[in-house]
Amino acid sequence: MSTATRQTSAVGLVGRPMLIRLVLLTLLLLLDARLATGIKHSPRLVKRNSSSSSSSPPGNNATPERNNMVRGLRAPAVVDPRSPELLLRCEYDLGGNELYAVNWFRNEDVLFRYSPSLVPKATAYPGVADVNVSLEHSNAEQLLLIGHQDVQRNMKSYEGTYVCEVSTERPFLTDYGVANVSAAILPKANPVLEGLRHNYQVGEFLELACTSAPSLPPAELSFYLNGRKIDQSRVRSERMHPSNEATSSTRSELSLKLERQHFQNGILKVACVARIANLTQISRDYRVEAVIALGAANQPLAQAPPSPNSAAASRLYRYLGLLVVAFWAVGKIA
Ligand SMILES: *[C@@H]1O[C@H](CO)[C@@H](O)[C@H](O)[C@H]1NC(C)=O
Ligand SMILES: *[C@@H]1O[C@H](CO)[C@@H](O)[C@H](O)[C@H]1NC(C)=O
Ligand SMILES: *[C@@H]1O[C@H](CO)[C@@H](O)[C@H](O)[C@H]1NC(C)=O
Ligand SMILES: *[C@@H]1O[C@H](CO)[C@@H](O)[C@H](O)[C@H]1NC(C)=O
């Protein structure tokens, strides 16, 4: 009888704390496993270079009244303003008819006229567009423009909407090709993000800087959180203009207090996108992306991944730490 009582009391005194310990330990181990997976899948700075440049040949969708002679005006969608010249080609098929004239326009100013039946055949109209025509290299099929030494001047003198207008005699038919040319020095790389860590807590400030690669015109930078653009009023931007260079970089800084709603399933996607003004012809983004997590460990992002040994060691220490905490907690309860 007394043995039975002692047994009951033994279960009562020893068994219940043991049970609590086991339950607590299981919970802590589960938590530990979650932490470990969280760290194993710790976000890395993901860089993506999306390069989808499209430059559809313009002017080849001739309407009936345009007689379908011009196949296209071939011109670079973007010309480097440091380039000493700009070559434009007018591709056409007269269908056996005789060429009367090819007239070249830029923004409706006439630049050059080629007419085989006139003397001289080639005539340039200088001054109008602040660009010189090379008579030597311009003819029935092409126009060669000579640029300036000055990059800023070339920005203006190359850029524009070009038209080549072709006409035949006997019968008199006419057609034209159109091309838009932008002048820019494109960035050679995607922007760079600085100041990011792997993990943040709600209430902490996300402080980051994005710097674009040099370009002309300088890039406009935008921040995106989970695909949504941050209002420019929250962004501080400055231009960095190295001397002796036509190009400049943009540096933008964002400071944002993190709230729980910023994290979707515990992560926040950050992107910085650089856009070059007036480049409507190329639909190309220069962007950098990163993923950060809601978490306790505030590790610097630009850290080398821990070696397997040190990872195992830190897991062991954490495990031991959890055991100590578990027994302490159980001691308090019991
Ligand atoms: C962009 O990505 C492609 C593969 O998708 C790679 O071959 C190329 O080197 C990358 N370019 C830059 C500038 O990172
Ligand atoms: C040239 O640009 C203008 C607007 O700037 C646009 O309306 C036009 O469609 C463009 N033409 C071609 C051939 O791309
Ligand atoms: C155009 O030609 C004129 C006369 O030859 C010359 O004075 C001028 O500097 C030239 N401009 C450019 C942009 O080459
Ligand atoms: C963009 O184009 C507009 C009109 O063509 C011009 O006024 C402006 O200076 C251009 N901006 C840049 C950055 O080149």
Each residue of 159-200: pLDDT tens digit? 999 999 999 998 999 999 999 999 999 999 999 999 999 889
Ligand 2: centre distance to CA 180 (Å)? 6
CB 198 within 8 A of CB 43: yes
What pTM does this model have?
Answer: 0.64
Distance (Å, whole) CA 173 – CA 100: 9
Please confirm whether the linkage preceding 43 is cis (ω < 30° from 0).
no
Which ligand is closest in space to the CA of residue 134?
3
CA–CA distances in Å: residue 300 to residues 159, 197, 199, 303: 45, 5, 8, 6
Amino acid letter, 56: S
Atom 1 of ligand 2 has which residue's CA nearest to it?
180
CB 74 within 8 A of CB 178: no
Amino acid letter, 237: S
3-state SS class at 309: helix
Mutation test of ligand 3: which of 82, 106, 132 has the most ligand atoms closer than 8 Å to its C-beta? 132
Residue 136: HSE in the Cβ half-sphere, 13 Å Cα cutoff:
1
* Residues of the chain by 3-state class (helix, strand, coil), percent to 5: 25, 35, 40
Q: Cβ of 128: how many Cβ atoms within 10 Å? A: 14
Position 279 scores a pLDDT of: 77
Which atom of ligand 3 lies at the shortest distance from residue 147's CA? Answer: 13
Distance (Å, whole) CA 191 – CA 53: 17
Q: Which of the residues in the chain have pLDDT under 50?
A: 1-14, 32-64, 297-308
Q: Is the CB of 33 under 6 A from ligand 4?
A: no
Token representation of residue 168: 């035949």
Q: Is 105 exposed, middle or buried (0-12, 13-18, 19+ CB in 10 A)?
A: buried
CB 185 within 8 A of CB 246: yes
Which ligand is closest in space to the CA of residue 84?
3
CB 30 within 8 A of CB 23: no
Mutation test of ligand 4: which of 106, 216, 278, 280 has the most ligand atoms closer than 8 Å to its C-beta? 278
Q: Is the CB of 282 under 6 A from ligand 2?
A: no
User: How does DSSP classify residue 22?
Assistant: H
Query: In angstroms, how far is CA 150 from the centroid of its own chain?
Result: 29
User: Could you tell me which of 84, 85, 87 has the C-alpha nearest to residue 75?
Assistant: 87
What is the radius of gyration, based on Cα positions, of the chain? Answer: 34
Token representation of residue 285: 């983004």
Question: How does strand 173-183 pair with strand 160-169?
Answer: antiparallel
Q: Is the CB of 161 under 6 A from ligand 2?
A: yes
Which atom of ligand 4 lies at the shortest distance from residue 277's CA? Answer: 13
Q: Is the CB of 278 under 6 A from ligand 4?
A: yes
